Structures are given as structure tokens and as C-alpha cells.
Chains A and B, each alone.
Chain A
């Protein structure tokens, strides 16, 4: 499969790979289910929930993948992953946890889509009730909405 250019049909293949990666990461690492609800287009790439992380892809595919959710949800997911009670996790734990989630989703997307010659860069994370991070982009961003443990997990893709 030639995925060397970001054509619309090939982008759809990558989006499908991303969706599988999200479900796989949550299932295997956190033993919880991510239910895909729907997707929509956004004109910006913005992490506007209480906890979020972004990972950049460069090479034959260029772009960003982000995830964000409420502190309660992210605390619950990280708690499940590390096997510690949620109340024992501090902000640094949540930052590292959501960053690693983004890292695994990015890596999983790359593997699932067979994206050759793509580098997944280290993630960045933001956590806090009043924090928002936005990147200016040329193309529109796809927003995938998942339901996890009754809460909304947003997955953004600008590819």
C-alpha cells in the first residue's frame, strides 16, 4: 500500500488506523472500552479539555495527533494503566500518562496504517482546568469523539 502522500483516500485509511489504535490502546493498557461516537471537522487543532497531549509526525506523512479529556477521565484511565488508586496520582503522573497515551496512539496509527518513513516525535502534554493549547494549521482537523467510561475522549488528527 502506497501511503507516501497525504491524499484524501489515503488519509481516510490513516483515520481508520487511528480509530483502531485508540480502541487498542485503551483496551490493552487500561482494560477499558473506547466507543467511537462520531467525527466532525474543525478549523483548528485545539486541546481545550482539562488534560491533553499532542504528538507530531514528520517524514512521508506530516501532521499532528492529539487526545484530550476531563481530568476525571484521564485520572481514571491512568489509574487503570499503572494500577494505582486515582487519588494517589498527582499532576505530573497525569501529564506523563496522557503523554504516553498520545505516544502509543501515534505509534499504533503508524503501525496500523503501514506508514513507512514516518517519525513519531516525543509528545507534549497540558494539564489544568484553565489551560488551552492551539496550533495554527493549513488543513482542517478531524475530531473523533469517543465515549470512555461515560465521559468524552476527544482525538484530533491533522494529517
Chain B
């Protein structure tokens, strides 16, 4: 197997290298070119135009405030939750596991939309309710930087939590205990010992959330654009999607700075997580977390956690489902319940574009994830089994795209696909998806490969099983859980994909998230909600089916 894998390496480097480097190279070439058609003639015009635009400074400031703000919100909440989970006797600890799984469940665009439905100044449900109480005008306005930061912060909370919680639970309690013995109070220990020791993890979480919010398109487009607040991602989008003529050269020139910022931040993140190992001490022997008794604060703090879980999971789905049933936005009550009907659902299911989007997204989810996992399988095999310079190169290449903002990758691919017959076909989207989300399939598969001890394969060989027989009866069955979670991750990401699709999707290749964005732009909230619930349903169904098949397969041997 090792020899076959080694032989595969050059081919895989070519495929993965193409997928990750093609958009970058095309972006660079495109930024120095004129229009999509006038490819190749060197010019600096687009850079001059992009960076001398008087609005650009404001966009830059908004981007910095938006990304930093959401990073602070997400990391602060994550610290609070991780501390409660690992260090205190708070009841209902299962909820923390749920919170870290949210990104699987509610697509970002739907989460953002549900907040718009609750808090938009003209007919947000909470605002309508406050008006009924006698408050004049719009009490709360979601279409603001604060609104964007809060929503994005909540969305990125799980990522920050996944970085901070392990560091927090691996923390050597003796450090805290010695501080307590020295006479420091709980609070003093927290601020003088615990937080400083966790600094690398905290900084890593901040950096990761900044990268994510820089790439985020759902929140800036659904919440920012109606309030005329533009960040880099929406600025790029507006250059190619609104106005008289799409200017892909200028979009590429702007995209270059987003890409450069992302890569810098990811390099910083890698350095921080490497440094982290130095600080955080994992003592496997006799590890016993000292639990702080919250006493009277137990249940109030539990209520806070419960509220956060509710806001993250239940509320968006409730709001969407409610909105899909009422004829127009109204506060829940007798009148609303009387007016409920399946009208929006029927409209959506009769709308040819929505149906096409459903079909396309389902195809991209199932087909894309299957192809993506196939590629991930071979790449993971080489990364884990073959330890050469070439496999190291393959590893760096395949995790590179993790740092690329989707919309920028989309612009880069646009420059490429327009030269090929793939332009405006569903295959363009498929290739773009796999290129951008390869790390999602690769991460679970590499860890699955690592977990198969070489003795398990070797003993099959000694028992008389040839290489293929060993692959079929030992390696593949043991990989099934990794394959399943990789497939599920990719499929759910593909079904909801937005930031890449807004650039690559053309008439005929609409996908669900883009169709939802169109509905949002037109204010068709009822149809949007019905389609959104369908989207959540499809994702959930794919997860359940894939999980069921995997369970059945791995039970056999």
C-alpha cells in the first residue's frame, strides 16, 4: 500500500495543487488585467481604481471593526462557556457539546435572516412588539455594525469554543491550586493565573474568528448591505454583482488584500497554536479538574447558557418556521395564528428557479461530497502513510485553502472558468466547492488513517491477505467512521454554500443559498423561510442517512 501511495503522490500534488493554487494564480493575473475578456494585457489600472476609491477607506474601517468586534464577542463568550463547562459544577453539561456542534445545524445565512426578521427597523417582530408597548419608531436596529458584530460573533462562537475548551480542560490545575494556596481568591486566580496561561489559546481563537469573519459573506450581505454598511466581502460582491457592469479586474485587485490578510492571519494562527503547546501542560497522570462550586449562581448561570443555546439553535428555526406560515410579518398572536397557511410553501414548491436550486444543491451536496471524499481519501492516505518531502508538500497544499475567503476564491475561479467550457455549468461550482472545502473532508480522514495502527494491516498481510484483500476487509471498514464524518461535513457545507456560489452561480446553476439571498434582497421573507426550512431539512436528512449507512457498514467486517 505504501508503494502504491508513493506512486500516487505526483498525480495528487498536481490535482490538489491545481485546485488550491489555480484561483490564487488567476486572481493575481486577473488583478493585473483589464476585463474578463481582455485577459493577459498587463495593467495596474484596476489597483489604482480600487484603492483610490474614496469609499474604500470607510469599507476598510468597517471591516476592521466588524472582524475585531465579532472576534471579541465570540472569544469572550467561548471563554465564559468553556470556563463554566470545565471548571464549575454547572448543571446540564451536555448543552456545551450541543453548542460546539451548531455549525452543522443552522446555515449562517438563515441565522442572519432570522435576526433580520426579529430586529429589522421597519417590521422586525421584536420591534413591532416594542411598538405595541408604546415605544416610538424602531427601538432596535439590526442593520448596524453592532448588529452585524453580535450576529457574526454568535455564529463564530462554536469555532472559538472548539479552540479554547480543549486548552481549558488540559490546563494543569496545580497552577491554579498553588495560587489558591498562596492566598489568592478565585477571581484573582482567574485573572492572574488562568487567563495569562491560556493566552496562546485565546489569541488563537481570536485570530481564527477574525479569519472567519473576514471571509464571512452571509452576515455582511443580509444584515450589512440593507444598512449600507460594506465590508471587503460585500464590497467585492457589489463590484461584480451590482451596478452597471461587473468589473472582475477590480474585484480581483480588492480580493488580493483580503487574501493577503487571511494568509497572514493563518500563519499567525499556526505560530500561536505551536507556541500553545509550550504553555498548556497536559498531565495525563492523576488528572482531576478542581471544580469550583458556583453555589447560588449555579442556576442563574445555567439559565444564561440555556438562553445562549436557545438563541443559537431553537430561535432561528422557530422564527423561520413561523414566518413561512404567516402571510406577512406580524407579531405572534391570535390574529397571526388565524391567518396561518401553507401558501408560501406552495409558492416555493411551484417556483421553477427554487426547484432548480433545490435540485442543484442536492446534486452538489451528494455528488460533490462523494468526489471530495474520494480525493480526500487518497490525499490522506499519502499524507499519513508516505513520509517524504513530496507528501509534506501535498499536506501543506491541501490545507492551504482553509485560509482563503470563499468570495475571493470565487473571483479567482471566475477568471479561470471563463476561459473554459465549464463556465456557467454546475461543474464549475463543483470544482470550486471541492477546492475550497477540501480540508473539511481531509481532517477527519487523516485522523482516521492515523488511528489505524500499522500492525492491523500488517497482521492481515501475515495472515495471508493480499494488499487489495487487506484494503477491503481491514482498512476500509476501519475508515468508515472517518469517511462518514468527512462526507457529512462536506455535504452539509455544500448544500448551504453561499460565498463562493454568489460569484460562480449563473442563471441555470442557481443553488439554495443564492436563491435565499435573492429572496432576502427582494424582501420575500415567507418564501425565503419555507425554502430555508427545506434546506435545513435536506442537510439533516443527508446527515441522518449517511450516519445510518456508516453505522451499518462498520458493523460488518
Same complex = no
Binding site for B on A (CB under 8 A): none
Binding site for A on B (CB under 8 A): none
